């Protein structure tokens, strides 16, 4: 099959990692897969194409990366299937000519909550695209709010990367791990407040933070790991007894699942996506 994914960028992030992992594995299985990525200018697109810029954090990436200045329905390649992966690409896929193949919408969050103008994002969920969602909660949202059925494809944890490994820890225990993010809805402030209350009863509690970048200002972490390599995350997860996920809403939530695969207990809100793996 010839499959085209519209991916918003190649930076490491939970949603993008899922998109690129599916593209990579479909390509490895013998399908012709192209990932179309906007560079936001023709000069950038040309430069990245000439340098064959790809997701360096995925070794041996098999799918073909196609850089464009912006998505255009008329310029999408011929194929058997074309996949929107966020609300920004849904209208382009909906407008794609029949030669591009069957049209899909890979939904990884209810983006109307926090991304873009709510009415504009909601409009994309009403487009005539076949939806694939990553959690039961998202399937419920699509059906109840938009009268649209969706296939559920829960993103799996990569067992080759995420499993319990022996770790020597020099700090006090218990160690509690939390993902740091500047988005308010990721609940970092709530996490700090919860940990502060528990530390009043368990002073030895050691809060470990990690994230793509370090906090911009003072933060209550006892230890922080900025942009840890993918192949070191299992060490980080395995070295903590508890993973704290204070997000208000999650389409699924890969870090909590990865931490659980490495032996950590999960503490979380009922954030929607967690219903597929937490009780």
Note the pLDDT tens digit of each residue in 112-137. 999 889 999 999 999 999 999 999 99
Bridge-based pairing of strands 81-84 and 102-107 is parallel
What separation, in Å, do the N-terminal and C-terminal C-alpha atoms of the chain show?
39
Alpha-carbon gap, residue 60 to 164, rounded angstroms:
25
On whether the CB atoms of residues 260 and 277 are closer than 8 A, the answer is: yes
Tokens encoding 227: 């942009």
Relative to beta strand 64-68, strand 32-38 is: parallel
Q: How confident is the model at residue 9 (pLDDT cuts 50, 70, 90)?
A: very high
Burial of residue 150, with CB atoms counted within 10 A of its CB: 0-12 exposed, 13-18 middle, 19 or more buried: buried
Element (H, E) at 16: helix 14-28
Grade residue 150 by pLDDT with cuts at 50, 70 and 90: very high
Overall average pLDDT of the 102-107 stretch: 98
pLDDT at position 12: 86
pLDDT bracket for residue 279 (50, 70, 90): confident
Q: Could you tell me if 45 and 16 are in contact, meaning their C-beta atoms sit under 8 angstroms apart?
A: no
Is 90 exceeded by the pLDDT of residue 75?
Answer: yes
- What contacts 217, CB < 8 A, 6 or more positions away? none
The CATH number of the structural domain formed by 175-276 is 3.40.50.2000
- Which among 37, 33, 38, 39 is positioned nearest to 64, based on CA atoms? 33
Dump pLDDT digits (tens) for 12-62.
887 999 999 999 999 999 999 999 999 999 999 999 999 999 999 999 999
Report CA Rg, the chain: 20
Dihedral through CA 103, CA 107, CA 113, CA 117, nearest 10?
Answer: -30
Round to whole Å and give the CA distance between 103 and 244. 37
Q: Which two tokens stand for residue 211?
A: 């994230």
Whether 175-276 and 2-152 are alike in CATH topology: the answer is yes
User: Residue 198: what pLDDT?
Assistant: 98
**Which of the four CATH numbers 2.40.37.10, 3.40.50.2000, 3.40.50.720, 3.20.10.10 does domain 2-152 have?**
3.40.50.2000
Please report how many Cα atoms fall inside a 13 Å half-sphere around the Cα of residue 71, on the Cβ side.
25
pLDDT digits (tens, 9 = 90+) for 167-211: 999 999 999 999 999 999 999 999 999 999 999 999 999 999 999
Question: 138: closest CA among 110, 115, 119, 157?
Answer: 110
Q: How far is CA 100 from CA 20, 94, 103, 116, in A?
A: 20, 11, 8, 27
Q: What is the pLDDT of residues 208-261, one digit of tens each?
A: 999 999 999 999 999 999 999 989 999 999 999 999 999 999 999 999 999 999
Closest of 76, 119, 67 to residue 101, by C-alpha? 76
Domain range list for the chain:
2-152, 175-276
């Amino acid at each position: 099959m010839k499959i085209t994914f519209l991916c918003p960028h190649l930076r490491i992030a939970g949603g993008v990692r899922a998109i690129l992992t599916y593209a990579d594995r479909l390509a490895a299985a013998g399908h012709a897969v192209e990932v179309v990525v906007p560079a936001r200018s023709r000069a950038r697109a040309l430069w990245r194409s000439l340098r064959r810029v790809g997701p360096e954090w995925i070794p041996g990436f098999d799918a073909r990366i196609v850089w464009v200045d912006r998505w255009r329905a008329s310029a999408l390649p011929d194929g058997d299937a074309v996949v929107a992966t966020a609300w920004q690409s849904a209208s382009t896929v909906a407008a794609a000519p029949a030669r591009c193949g069957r049209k899909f919408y890979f939904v990884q969050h209810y983006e109307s909550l926090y991304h873009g103008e709510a009415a504009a994002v909601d409009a994309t969920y009403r487009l005539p695209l076949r939806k694939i969602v990553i959690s039961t909660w998202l399937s419920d949202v699509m059906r109840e709010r938009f009268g649209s059925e969706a296939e559920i494809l829960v993103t799996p944890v990569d067992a080759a990367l995420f499993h319990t490994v022996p770790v020597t820890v020099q700090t006090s225990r218990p160690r509690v791990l939390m993902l740091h993010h500047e988005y308010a809805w990721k609940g970092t402030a709530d996490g700090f407040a919860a940990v502060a209350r528990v530390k009043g009863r368990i002073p030895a509690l050691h809060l470990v933070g990690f994230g793509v970048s370090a906090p911009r200002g003072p933060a209550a972490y006892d230890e922080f790991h900025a942009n840890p390599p993918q192949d070191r995350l299992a060490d980080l997860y395995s070295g903590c007894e508890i993973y704290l996920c204070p997000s208000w809403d999650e389409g699924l939530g890969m870090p909590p699942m990865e931490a659980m695969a490495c032996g950590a207990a999960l503490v979380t809100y009922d954030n929607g996506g967690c219903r597929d793996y937490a009780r």
